[in-house]
């Protein structure tokens, strides 16, 4: 069992699993070789969502897994997990609107959370499924939480990487000065001309060196203004207000990963998440991973996902 510092100490009530010991840490050579050519093996498709074309890459056969990336990213974010999951599932990794090969509508209103959730639902339907195991990171995690809360019939299971439950994050923004400080980047992104300071090369500095060229290409096809519209339309603004109402409860089983070195999303926001989930909830804390836990500890996260999605 692992407890978290400070406000998150209450998480000891949740089943916390040290997958570092259970599964081992370290990249598997066979996995690395498969990942290197995954962009040559996927099938590219487009779903239509309220007139907006949403690109997604598909690999494998079986029950559907929908994977949703965050900022600043594209479908290739899930390269480490797609190959392994595709052995037993049909994996669809989407480009969010505004990114890479998806449409990039102009106007902040076109990035409202309701539209983003509709995009995810459109991909599930276009992939030929009525429901899916939904996986999300960062903004993709926010979309995944909302899909599970408001369209529960489409979510079989939910996997979240480094995005606390929205209710917990809103609470911390209203009450925790450290989280407020850590969210300064989001307030900067909400400024009118913030996108003008971004470039493909600058954003690619966040990416592992072996994937940087692919990311620069994807960023050049993306809209920086659209990327920041997610923050302008959906991220809480100052003065932060504590959430007043009980959130809609998630009905699906949840597997959540959190890299404890995440400097933007602090672990205090994880506290109490089990109260808003009416099913099994597994939280995996990874001490030596940051915001992109599915990159930093790719082998650990991938094996945990594969094991969990195949549980009976």
Tens place of pLDDT per residue across the chain (312 aa):
233 333 333 333 233 333 222 222 233 333 444 566 899 999 999 999 999 999 999 999 999 999 999 999 999 999 999 999 999 999 999 999 999 999 999 999 999 999 999 999 999 999 999 999 999 999 999 999 999 999 999 999 999 999 999 999 999 999 999 999 999 999 999 999 999 999 999 999 999 999 999 999 999 999 999 999 999 999 999 999 999 899 999 999 999 999 999 999 999 999 999 999 999 999 999 999 999 999 999 999 999 999 999 997
Q: Where are the domains of the chain?
A: 6-309
- Cα distance between residue 63 and residue 223, in whole Å: 32
User: What distances in angstroms separate CA 52 from CA 24, 63, 144, 226, 229, one per listed residue?
Assistant: 42, 25, 19, 13, 16
**What tokens were used for 162?**
């480094």
**Alpha-carbon distance 206 to 230, whole Å?**
19
Q: Report residue 213 as tokens.
A: 């060229």
Q: What pLDDT, on a 0 to 100 scale, did the predictor assign at position 36?
A: 64
Task: Name the one residue in this structure whose structure tokens are 């009450």.
Answer: 175
- Alpha carbon distance 110, 50 (integer Å): 10
The CA–CA distances, whole Å, from 196 to 111, 199, 232, 290 equal 18, 8, 15, 27
- CATH tag for 6-309 (out of 3.30.1950.10, 1.10.8.640, 3.40.50.1820, 3.40.50.170): 3.40.50.1820
Hunting for tokens 């940087």 — which residue is that?
212
Say how far apart CA 229 and CA 266 lie, in whole Å.
23
Question: Is 79 exposed, middle or buried (CB count within 10 Å of its CB: 0-12, 13-18, 19+)?
Answer: buried
Measured distance CA(149)–CA(161) in Å, rounded: 17
What count of residues does the chain have?
312
Residue 186: which residues within 8 A CB-CB, separation 6 or more?
A: 231, 235, 264
Q: What does pTM read for this prediction?
A: 0.90
The token pair that represents 304 in the structure block: 């945990």
What lies within 8 Å, CB to CB, of 241 at 6+ separation is 170, 174
Tokens of 208: 């592992």
- 3-state DSSP call for residue 285? strand
pLDDT given at position 11: 35
DSSP string across the chain? ----SGGGGGGGGSEE--HHHHH--S--HHHHHHHHTHHHHPEEEEEEETTEEEEEEEE--SSEEEEE--TT--GGGGHHHHHHHTTTSEEEEEPPTTSTTS---SSGGGG-HHHHHHHHHHHHHHTT-S-EEEEEETHHHHHHHHHHHH-GGGEEEEEEES---HHHHHHHHHH-HHHHHHTHHHHHHTSTTGGGG--HHHHGGGS-GGGHHHHHHHHHTS-HHHHHHHHHHHS--SSP----SPPPPB-S-EEEEEETT-SSS-GGGGTTGGGGBSS-EEEEEETT--S-HHHHTHHHHHHHHHHHHT--
Distances (CA, A) of 206 to 71, 99, 212, 259: 11, 16, 9, 16
* pLDDT of the residue at 217: 98
């Amino acid at each position: 069992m692992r407890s978290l510092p400070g406000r998150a100490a209450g998480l000891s009530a949740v089943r916390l699993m040290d997958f570092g010991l259970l599964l081992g840490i370290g990249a598997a050579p066979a996995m690395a070789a498969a990942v290197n050519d995954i962009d040559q093996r996927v099938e590219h498709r487009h779903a239509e969502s309220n007139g907006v074309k949403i690109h997604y890459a598909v690999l494998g056969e079986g029950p559907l897994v929908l994977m949703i990336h965050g900022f600043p990213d594209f479908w290739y974010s899930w390269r480490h997990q797609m190959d392994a999951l595709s052995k037993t599932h049909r994996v669809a990794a989407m480009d969010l609107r505004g990114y890479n090969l998806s449409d990039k509508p102009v106007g902040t209103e076109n990035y409202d959370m309701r539209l983003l959730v509709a995009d995810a639902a459109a991909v599930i339907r276009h992939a030929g499924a009525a429901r899916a195991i939904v996986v999300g990171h960062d903004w993709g995690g926010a979309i995944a939480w909302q899909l599970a809360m408001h369209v529960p019939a489409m979510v079989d299971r939910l996997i979240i990487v480094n995005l606390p439950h929205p209710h917990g994050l809103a609470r911390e923004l209203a009450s925790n000065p450290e989280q407020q400080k850590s969210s300064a980047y989001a307030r900067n992104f909400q400024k009118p001309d913030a996108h003008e300071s971004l470039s493909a090369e600058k954003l690619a500095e966040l990416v592992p060196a072996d994937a940087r060229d692919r990311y620069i290409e994807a960023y050049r096809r993306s809209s920086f203004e659209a990327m920041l519209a997610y923050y302008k339309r959906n991220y809480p603004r100052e003065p932060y207000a504590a959430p007043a109402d009980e959130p809609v409860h998630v009905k699906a089983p949840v597997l959540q990963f959190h890299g404890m070195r995440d400097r933007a999303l602090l672990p205090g926001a994880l506290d109490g998440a089990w109260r808003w989930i009416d099913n099994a909830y597994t939280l995996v804390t990874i001490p030596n991973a940051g915001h992109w836990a599915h990159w930093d500890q790719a082998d650990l996260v991938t094996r945990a996902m594969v094991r969990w999605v195949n549980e009976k």
